[in-house]
Structure 1
Amino acid sequence: MTMSLTMRLLTTLITLLISICPTAIAQTLNESVRFDEKIHDFGSIGETDGKVTHRFVFTNTGRDTVTLTRARSGCSCVHAEVSRRPVLPGRTGYVDVTFDPDYRPGHFSKEIVVFSTDNRYNRIWVKGDVTPGIHPLTEKYRYDYGHGLLMEYKVMNFGTVPQGATRTRSLSFGNNSTGTLNLTFHINSGETKGNRLYDSAASAVIPAGLIIDIPERYLLRPGEEGKIDVTVRMLTQLDSMATVVITPVANGFTLQPLTLTVHPAK
């Protein structure tokens, strides 16, 4: 290989790298931007008390004007706004960082990368501890089955279950009423395309070999949440998809049905 060919290949490789990741190559620390603080501790904040905001102030210690272009964080819980006006030497600018604690209990530490002119950057952080709050059950559970029973699923899809396999999925729910719910779960025949289910409160057996186990009873107090395990056991292979209807009954009232589906292995 000649020297000229080697140089051409090297030039092509460098050009390719620059086109693929120009930001990673071009970015440098902006030493002219001096923040009064790089880390702000929000301390203890309540999960349901709303968003908190802190303003990071910086000084342009260089000889040239600095303009902030954007700020980014790897978490959707953080939003940052930069001062867009050019900052003359010796003058100050700012970055407003907002943290949303909703559904983020516990300790947090989030990095924000602040970009300025000439693709330069600086890093700042916010941290703190989020005290868990109480959320309405309607925020957590999408489906209202009636009589105060809320559940996370309308359809439980177990996917493909091969012969001899067992698969378990959890079903969470909550009591949004003012009274105790005495729950029972009844399994009924559904569209099984030729496979017949035996009706039972605890389990259902398809002659083709599908067994479904679910707890018979569950007591749920007002405002309380619960969780049960629903298990599918495949003794022999299904010929086609099975659809099972599970009917919750609360204090003798028949509620909206939950659908369970199982697919045969190909």
Structure 2
Amino acid sequence: MKKFIGAAIFSMIGTAVFAQAEIKFKTETIDYGTVTKGTDNGLRTFEFTNTGNEPLVITNVRSTCGCTVPSKPTEPIMPGKTGKIDVKYNMALGKISKTVTVETNAKNVNNGMVSLRIKGEVVADK
């Protein structure tokens, strides 16, 4: 009986050590291309999957400036499931080159953080 209890405890500890959330983005860069101001609402979506075996929690999403507004999932993403982070750029004229930082409990990325990029150019209507 002692061997069984010892094996059960060892098994639970081993499972806990290897349980982790992992994040995999479909793409980490979205290229708006060249868009004409007034013809695009600036909304884009980054899709990701929890490739780990415990719930993935997005704790924070922030952008490099107020012209880019990200939104994060409010609920944990279960293993094998997908989620999304919407990013809305204000479509100011000129080049687009912004970074959105995603903070998570994922163990497969450095410090649980992923940097996403948006790029492109907004031009005036001719």
Fold match by TM threshold 0.5: yes
- Report the equivalent of 1:123: 115
- How many residues of Structure 1 are paired with residues of Structure 2 in the alignment? 103
Match of 1:90 among 76, 80, 97: 80
The CA distance in 1 between the partners of 2:31 and 2:56, in whole Å, is 27
Match of 2:23 among 23, 33, 46: 33
- Post-superposition offset of 1:86: 0.9
- Report the equivalent of 1:162: none
Match of 1:43, SS state, is strand
Equivalent AA in structure 1 for residue 48 of structure 2: F
The CA distance in 2 between the partners of 1:43 and 1:77, in whole Å, is 17
Match of 1:75, SS state, is coil
The CA distance in 2 between the partners of 1:56 and 1:31, in whole Å, is 18
Preserved CA contact (<8 Å) 1:77 1:99: yes
Match of 1:51, SS state, is coil
Deviations 1:50-71 (A, max 9, x none): 5311111101111221111221
The CA distance in 2 between the partners of 1:31 and 1:62, in whole Å, is 4
The CA distance in 2 between the partners of 1:50 and 1:31, in whole Å, is 35
The CA distance in 2 between the partners of 1:60 and 1:43, in whole Å, is 29
Residue 75 in structure 1 maps to residue 75 in structure 2: no
- Post-superposition offset of 1:31: 7.9
Residue 132 in structure 1 maps to residue 124 in structure 2: yes
The CA distance in 1 between the partners of 2:96 and 2:42, in whole Å, is 13
Match of 1:37, SS state, is coil
- Report the equivalent of 1:62: 52
1:65 to 1:49, Cα distance in 2 relative to 1, 3 A: same
Q: Which runs of 5+ in 2 are unaligned?
A: 1-19
Preserved CA contact (<8 Å) 2:21 2:79: no
Provide the alpha-carbon RMSD of the alignment.
2.3
Match of 1:113 among 101, 104, 107: 101
Deviations 1:37-90 (A, max 9, x none): 111111111234453111111011112211112211111110000111111111
The CA distance in 2 between the partners of 1:57 and 1:78, in whole Å, is 17
1:64 to 1:74, Cα distance in 2 relative to 1, 3 A: same
Q: Which TM-score applies when normalising by structure 2?
A: 0.72
Preserved CA contact (<8 Å) 1:70 1:81: no
Preserved CA contact (<8 Å) 1:50 1:100: no
Match of 2:24, SS state, is strand
Match of 1:96, SS state, is strand
Output aligned runs, 1:231-242, within 5 Å.
Answer: none
Match of 1:56, SS state, is strand
Query: Greater share of helix residues, 1 or 2?
Result: 2
Equivalent AA in structure 2 for residue 126 of structure 1: I
Match of 1:52 among 42, 45, 48: 42
Preserved CA contact (<8 Å) 1:46 1:130: yes
